[in-house]
Amino acid sequence: MESIRYNDMEFSVEKDGDRWTLTYGLPGGSKAVAGAGLFAGLSESEARTRALALVKTIFPVGVRSVGPDVMHPNMIGDLKIVGPDVAHPNFVYWNKDSVSSPKDL
């Protein structure tokens, strides 16, 4: 199957019986398994589509923004400065499949 390139990494989906194995290339030419026994009974195009979605979940591209610590406000004298209540970290995504600079200008 044709390889999948995402976030400057090469992935491939290979058929193993009625299931698929997702691997990615490591520096030096070796491969690592990202998932085995996936997508039972799916066609090559469906397996490729689901593999790309899985890759984007495992290796997200974006900026993680962690909100302020509301349990420990900043103190300026006797004034407590508390940022907005952000209970969970946020993850900001953008529509780009790579964090590297473009190779062609």
Of residues 33 and 61, more confidence is placed in 33
Per-domain residue ranges for the chain?
4-58, 62-93
Percent of the chain with pLDDT over 70: 66
Q: Which of 40, 63, 47, 43 is nearest to 11 (CA)?
A: 47
d(CA 88, CA 16): 39
Q: List CB contacts of 53: < 8 A, sequence separation 6 or more.
A: none
What is the value of pTM for the model shown?
0.57
